[in-house]
Every structure is written in structure tokens, then in C-alpha cells.
Chains A and B, each alone.
Chain A
Amino acid sequence: MQTKEIAGKQVQVDEDGFLVNPNDWTREIAQALAAEQGIDVLTEAHWRVIEFMRADFAEKGAVPTIRRLSKVGGIETKELYELFPNGPAKKAARIAGLGKPQGCV
């Protein structure tokens, strides 16, 4: 664990750069994390995903899966891949300030 300045705020991140504490998250941090991931502008469609993920995490205590984003959040998987290319679940979770999604074993 280490401390890092993102969007002018000191926050703790894990070894892969995920926020340790979801409460540290701000919209500015999301913008900065998105830029790190190669997404320069967060559009309304991106925010819809991020906001659903944060709300669902607050309620369930787990980062939602791609299936949950589609079935419960109403976000088409195809669209999710267009918004967050190459591993959308992980990328969106990171920008939403949530931990790395738990791999199911």
C-alpha cells in the first residue's frame, strides 16, 4: 500500500493503483484515473456506469460483474466494452474508485 497524489488529493492505493478506500473518491479523481487508463473524456455514458457501480457497491459490498452491470444496471455488455476497452470490469472499477473485482474461484 502506498500514498499517491491524484487530482490534488492524497489517497492510498494498492500495488496495482486501485484506491484502497472508496470514500476517498471524487469526480476529479475519476477523471484523473480515466486519463491514466487512456480515456481522456468521461462522457455521460461513462458516468452512468461509474455511478451504478458505486451505488451497487455501497448496497452489496462487492464490485458488480459484467453480467450484473447488464442485468441489473441495464448497461449492454457491448457498450461497456466500447466505453472501457480491454477488460471493462477492471477498468471501470478502478475509475469508480472501487477495489479490484474479486476473481471467483
Chain B
Amino acid sequence: MKKLLILGGGTAGTIMANKLSQHLNLDQWTITLVDSDPVHYYQPGFLFIPFGIYGRNDIVKPKRDFIPSQVELILSEIQFIEPERNRVKLANNQVLQYDELIIATGSHLAPEETEGLVGDGWNKTIFEFYTSKGACNLQKFLKHWAGGRLVLNVVEMPIKCPVAPLEFLFLADWWFTEQGIRDKVELTFVTPLPGAFTKPKASQILADFLSKKNIQLVPEFNIEKVDADKSRIVSYDGKHVDYDVLVTVPTNMGSEVIGRSGMGDELNFIPTDKHTLQSRKYENVFVIGDASDLPSSKAGSVAHFQADILTENFLRHIEGLPMVEKFDGHANCFIESGFGKGLLIDFNYDIEPLPGKFPLPGIGPFSLLQETQMNHWGKMMFRWVYWNLLLKGAALPIETQMTMAGKQR
């Protein structure tokens, strides 16, 4: 029997376990998946928690429910990976040998990378919303907040879901309006990027949204430290922004296991071929989702598109055939814009987000780079799609590789 080992049971690892248990000959292969956390989080839902739209129960389910019965699930921390010896050592010293390895260990917040961020102010005046706990703490705080200066700061790129900070601010604008205190709240977006977003056309449109909603934009701010005594964030070149409440998007890093195993770059992301998803160093190691160093978005939609490509390539690889499928960097993101509306962007490595209709050219029902109610409903319905179709590896009516049909230059 040959052994396939999957490390990580988040979006990417779970989809791969489902797809490969359907496509591999299980008389010849065993599949094992290792993850330390028994809970699967619907991560796009974190954004809605601070505003009371979702609670914790809306975004969690047991991981086991989404791992097929043919796949052995081991709940354990990993000590390290030994790619030279084709084995992985778990926390209880158990050693797992593998023939093929898929790494889907994701990314996580590393607030300790920024001086002064995790101090007395943490969870009192400084919050994050990229974990269920952090989002719930922020919800409790905002519920009773009387207003003041709310500063959202992105520490450094890359981050998981790069549109989430904007969505947070759009929703905050709506939520404070609903609470009747919008006139008492100053919203500021402080980012290391030169504009609201990285891609020029989307950046311009999103910057217009910020200004329309009276949200200040402070670009090219590279944070050095938080001065909690003075309630201000300070940049490397000596600029500062004062806050009453700081919502931070801290440095995102790959798993510490990757660092301990000497397999990562300076952020513990694994050097990976951007088209085939094979490790650049080890022929029998593949990397999917946030764990790789690919210049694509760290997002669930990306993991989903990658899973289609990796499944095909993996099946060819084990037959000794060349890997012909190419991941193009395709990402597809709903952007919640508040007041029951949303935008949608669809892009890849080479083509920036453009206006148009999606997924049916000229018809929709979704509109690209335009604010519609339909886009908002798409985003809200997506939770059902995620739990019931996407994680199980079912086909969705969206092309794996980005298409220009329906887009306008």
C-alpha cells in the first residue's frame, strides 16, 4: 500500500481529502490527514461576528463531519516534517511515513511580530477579527462603545483575504449608522499599500467607496510599533496615527512546523511552483492554500481552484506523467460593502479585477466591480455552498481558470 499524508484540515486540506478519496484507487492507497484542531471554522464568517450578524455557532462545525470515512483523521500537533526521509513526527512521538505529502497547514496571525501590539491594550483597546475568539471579543467591545477614533491597520502583506479589512470598514460604517452614532465615529484605514488595494482599477474604485463613506485612507504606512501609552501607531519613518480603538490585521505567517522543519521562507511560507503546486525542493511534496509562497491571494476561493488543479496534477504525477494542469492565480471574492450590498471581483496572476457580469457573460446574476444587492446575497448564500458543496469537493458552476468572457477592459 502506498501512503498519502495530508497535513492540515482547513479549507484546502479538507477539499483535497475529499477529492483524492474519490479519485485514488483505495486498494492501493491509504490517505491520512493530520490536524491539531477538531473544529472547522467557516473563516469568511469571522468578518460578520463583530457586528452581531453571525455568532460563533454560525461558523463552526466538527472537522470530522467533512473528512470522508476512508480517510484516517489524526488529531495531533506536528513536531516536524523530515522531507529528506519522507516522514513526519507527531507531538506524541508517533512517526508517519509517506510516499506523497500534501501540505495544507495554512497561515495564522503573528501579532507578537509588532512591538507593543500584544500588551496591556490587547483585547481592551486593540483587537483583531481573524480568529473566532478575536472577532467575539471585538463584538462585545463594539456593542457598548460610545464612539471615537477607530483605526484599522494592516501591518504587512501578504494577509489572508486582502479585501476583508475594507469589508470590515464598510460594515462598520453601516453598523455605526444603524446604532445612531456614525457622527461620533471616525473611521481610518491605515495600510502599507500605496492605495486601498493592490490592483490599480479595483484600488481606484475601492478608494472612491472609502471616500463616499467618509472613511479616511492613510497609505504607505509601514508600522514599526504601537505606543499603547499614547494610543498611537508609529511608522518606521516616524509618522503616527492616534486611535481610541485599534483593529489590527497583524503579520500573517505560515505554520511554525514549517519553520521548525526548515522548509519555509522568512514568513514560514513554502517555496512552491506557482503553476503545478509542487514544492520547489521535493518532488513528492505538494503545497496548497495559504501555506505556499505563491503570489496569489490567501483565500478560500484560491484554495478551491488550486484543489482542482492539484487533483489532476497529483493523479498524473503518481502515474509518472508530466503535470500539465496550470494554476493561473485565479481568485474570486465577494466584497461586502454595507447596507445590504456587495461587490464581486474575479482576477488572476496577470489580469486585474475588471468590471462585467459573472459567472454568465452579459447575464450575471452577479456584477463585477459594481455594488449590487445580488452580490450581497451571493456572499450570504456562500456559507451554505461552503459547508455543503465546496468542502466536499463537489463541482461548482465556476471555471477553475479565470475567463475573460463577461469582462470589460
Contact = CB atoms under 8 A, between A and B. Distances in A.
Partners in one complex: yes
Interface string A75-86: 001101100011
A105 B162 contact: yes
Contact of B198 (A77, A78, A81, A105): A105
Nearest to A80: B236
Nearest to B331: A105
A87 B266 CA distance: 21
B224 A104 contact: no
Contacts of B297: 105
B222 interface: yes
Nearest to A66: B222
Contact of A71 (B198, B266, B295): B266
Given A104-B198, A105-B199, A77 B158 contact: no
Q: How many B residues touch the partner, as a band?
A: 20 to 34
B405 interface: no
Contacts of A62: 295
A14 to B, nearest CB: 14
Contacts of A103: 157, 193, 198-199
Given A103-B193, A103-B198, A104-B157, A67 B236 contact: no
Contact of B295 (A72, A80, A85, A104): A104
A43 interface: no
Interface in B162-220: 162, 193-194, 197-199, 220
A72 B162 CA distance: 25
Nearest to A70: B266
Contacts of A77: 222, 224, 236
Query: DSSP majority for the A interface?
Result: loop
A87 B331 contact: no
A104 B237 contact: no
Contacts of B194: 87
Contacts of B197: 105
Interface of A: 62, 65-68, 71-72, 77-78, 80-81, 85-87, 102-105
Nearest to B299: A105
A17 B74 CA distance: 54
Nearest to B203: A103
Contact of A81 (B156, B162, B199, B236): B236
A104 B236 contact: no
Nearest to B267: A67
Nearest to B348: A105
A66 B197 CA distance: 19
A78 B224 contact: yes
B108 to A, nearest CB: 16
12 contacts: A65-B266, A66-B156, A67-B266, A67-B267, A77-B224, A78-B224, A87-B194, A103-B198, A104-B158, A104-B295, A105-B197, A105-B296
A70 to B, nearest CB: 8
Nearest to A69: B266
A87 B220 contact: yes
B266 A78 contact: no
Contacts of B198: 103-105
Contacts of B162: 104-105
Contacts of B331: 105
A67 B266 CA distance: 7
B269 to A, nearest CB: 11
A68 B265 CA distance: 9
Q: Which of A65, A72, A80, A104 has the most CB of B within 10 A?
A: A104
Given A67-B156, A103-B157, A104-B295, 6 more contacts: A62-B295, A67-B267, A71-B266, A77-B224, A78-B236, A81-B237
Contacts of B222: 66, 77, 81
A100 to B, nearest CB: 11
Nearest to B297: A105
Given A105-B198, A105-B331, A85 B296 contact: no
A72 to B, nearest CB: 6
A44 B236 CA distance: 21
Contacts of B295: 62, 102, 104-105
A99 to B, nearest CB: 13
Contacts of A66: 156, 222
